Structure 1
Amino acid sequence: MYRMGLMTFLLTEKNNINPKLDVNRCLQIALVHDLAECIVGDLTPHCGVPPDEKHRRESEAMKSIADLTGIAGDRMFELYQEYENQATPEAKFTKDLDRYDMILQAFEYEKRENSPKKLQEFFCATEGKFQHPYIKELVEELYKQRDEFENNTLLNGHA
């Protein structure tokens, strides 16, 4: 969530177009979108929890967190729902950031383990899902770096 929050600063006058996004709202959504995971954990498809049950658990957890935070809780829960429902361009942009953050982290793990393409499943899971033009550019660059890493690793006789 923190790294995604920082990534909202990547929106500049040059790339924040069509539609022009409310950067502050993107930052707020990024900071609350996964907050429920501090209670329910990071439920992935490998956990065997059906999507509707996952949503129910996270929504219930987010309501609990919202209740604890007093007056700010209503706003936090509203932002969480906006993200979950993909109700605004800001929510959709933040979803792109979430997907990008996931593959960026996967690539970092591949480099750390010196294991090119080891975490391909994460890249496959996001393929064709990015919407924002600027995030698509970042993804394209990440794919180039990943290919270079694979080629360099193979050339050096590793992996």
Structure 2
Amino acid sequence: MGILTFLLDSKDGLDKVRCLKMALVHDLAECIVGDITPFCGVVQSEKHRRETEAMKHIAGLAGNVGEELFDLYKEYESQVTPEAKVVKELDRFDMVLQAFEYEKDQQCPHKLQEFFDSTEGKFTHPILSTLVDELSKQRKEYEEIGLDATSNLSTFST
């Protein structure tokens, strides 16, 4: 996600450095609590509580930058600033990009569709909308190639 912040255009009025810092900090609590997903059976309020406690702990260890780390975390969680909103979109894009990579790696087109469905209509930043459109195009091409390759294999093996 940090690298993706370089794609942001400062003409959008975004503080790119703040976006970069927030991208680096937003999931830092996971190094303590793990990546709590909806499949873990942990309610959202408990997930938030655990992550906030972990971030307080990390901030306490970080000396004079601890307050900045915690403030960036809180800003991301509150989703009220333009920077927090675009970093959330970067996070979503990173998720679907990884899902597509897993589909290709496992040679299972469409296997992780629920990740793509969960982000449908949630990209508003022009650069991210363009990236999502390109990813969708590449995914569709891969699905067509994968399905063709599978049907050729089936024909070949019979």
Structure 2 counterpart of 1:118? 111
User: How many pairs are equivalent?
Assistant: 152
| TM-score normalised per structure 1 | 0.92
Structure-to-structure mapping, 1:67-78, within 5 angstroms:
67-78=60-71
Structure 1 stretches (4+) deviating beyond 2 angstroms?
Answer: none
**Which has the larger helix fraction?**
2
Does residue 1:84 correspond to 2:81, yes or no? no
| Per-residue CA distance 1:98-130 (angstroms, 9 max, x = gap) | 000000000000001111000001101111111
Single out whichever of 65-74 and 127-136 deviates more from structure 2. Answer: 127-136
Structure 2 counterpart of 1:153? 146
Structure-to-structure mapping, 1:3-152, within 5 angstroms:
4-12=1-9, 16-17=10-11, 19-152=12-145
Q: Equivalents in 2 of 1:155, 1:132: separation in Å?
A: 34
Q: Say what the alpha-carbon RMSD is for the aligned residues.
A: 1.2
Q: Equivalents in 1 of 2:66, 2:118: separation in Å?
A: 32
Aligned residue for 1:156, secondary structure, equals helix
Question: How far apart are 1:10 and its partner, in Å?
Answer: 1.0
| Per-residue CA distance 1:40-69 (angstroms, 9 max, x = gap) | 000011111110111010000000000000
CA contact (8 A) 2:7 2:127 kept: no
Identity across the alignment (%): 62
Question: How far apart are 1:20 and its partner, in Å?
Answer: 1.5
Q: What amino acid maps onto 2:104 in structure 1?
A: K
Q: What amino acid maps onto 1:9 in structure 2?
A: F
| TM-score normalised per structure 2 | 0.93
| Per-residue CA distance 1:9-63 (angstroms, 9 max, x = gap) | 1124xxx44x421110000000000000000000011111110111010000000
